[in-house]
Structure 1
Amino acid sequence: MGRILAIDYGTKRTGIAVTDEMQIIASGLTTVDTKELLQFLKSYVTKENVEKIVVGLPKQMNNTASESEVYIQKFLVKLSKTIPEITVERIDERFTSKMAFQTMIDSGLKKKQRQNKALIDEISATLILQSYLSSAR
């Protein structure tokens, strides 16, 4: 089995999370400047055995796509050309940013640490991945 990598795509920064080889535990990996995302992914999949990439699907409360979906679709086209051998799946990511912020509060992070948007993106990616793992079981 290979790892599953999750992406919380943003126009400036992108949070990334990954599972262990057994696909049991979801852990935050890093936050990458979105301009460098494809290069980071290409490099990562050459070093690690990645079986699947899960990309968050941002929806609004009425179930329509959010405005950021336009950018994600463009990214997905580039991703499929850059790393065509890896399957990409989508999963609803509603509320992940709010849940990430609440997770930071619950874990006792100070206000200054909770303002770190990169950390919020990484935690959001972890929540997306955890949600995917739960739905796959």
Structure 2
Amino acid sequence: MRVMAFDYGTKRIGIAVTDPLQMIANSLDTIHPLHIIDYLKKYLQTEQVERFVVGEPKQMDNTPSQSAHHVKGFVNLLTKTFPEIPIDMVDERFTSKMASAVILQSGINKKARQNKGLVDNISATILLQSWLERKAYL
């Protein structure tokens, strides 16, 4: 079964998913928050997901960031809609900066680099990969 990760934003949600053996995180999609539940219901009709991983926005001093209440609302919506799927929270500090660096190093053109959805997608992938690595050490 797969694990699915979300980089939540009020304009876009970056989504990543593991392979069925949970070894590799792959970028999946970027969805507007209004469409996420329909998207997930459709996805879950064809794929088995055993866990959700959600990026937890924190400030440098480890306190919740300004967007934390939006993420909490999203987590509550996931819990209410998919009560059988557990949710893990992962510190998402620096994932957007890391994603931007990956995009810059990839050599894609300037117009493609300005696609904020791409940053959200890669951020979700970084979140999920870090969750996989942490899980491997436990």
TM-score class, shorter-chain normalisation, is: over 0.9
Aligned to 1:48: 47
2:102 is equivalent to residue 103 of structure 1: yes
Question: Which range is displaced more, 40-49 or 90-99?
Answer: 40-49
Q: Secondary structure at the match of 1:124?
A: helix
- Corresponding residue number in structure 2 for 1:93: 92
RMSD: 0.7
The secondary structure found in structure 2 opposite 1:61 is coil
Does the aligned pair in 2 maintain the 1:16–1:30 contact within 8 Å?
A: yes
- For 1:81 and 1:42, the matched residues in 2 are separated by 13
Q: Is the 8 A contact 1:42 1:82 kept in 2?
A: no
Aligned residues: 136
In the aligned structure 2, how far is the partner of 1:69 from the partner of 1:41? 22
Is the 1:42–1:83 contact (alpha carbons within 8 Å) kept by the matching residues of 2?
A: no
Q: Is 1:5–1:19's contact at 8 Å kept on the other side of the alignment?
A: yes
Q: Which residue of 1 aligns with 2:14?
A: 15
The one-letter code matched in structure 2 to 1:111 is K
Q: Which runs of 5+ in 2 are unaligned?
A: none
How far apart, in 2, do the equivalents of 1:29 and 1:81 lie?
23
After superposition, the C-alpha distances for 1:82-117 in whole angstroms (9 at most, x for unaligned) are: 111101110001000000000001111111111000
- Is the Cα–Cα contact under 8 Å of residues 3 and 18 in structure 1 kept in the other structure? yes
1:67 is the counterpart of 2:66: yes
Aligned to 1:119: 118
For 2:133, the equivalent position in structure 1 comes to 134
Gaps of 5+ in 1: none
Q: Which runs of 4+ in 1 moved over 4 A?
A: none
Structure 1 position 46, deviation (Å): 2.2
- Percent identical pairs in the alignment equals 51
SS at match of 1:24: coil
Q: TM-score when scaled to structure 1?
A: 0.97
Task: Give the match for residue 28 of structure 2.
Answer: 29
Q: Matches of 1:68 and 1:46 in 2, distance apart?
A: 31
TM-score w.r.t. length of structure 2: 0.96
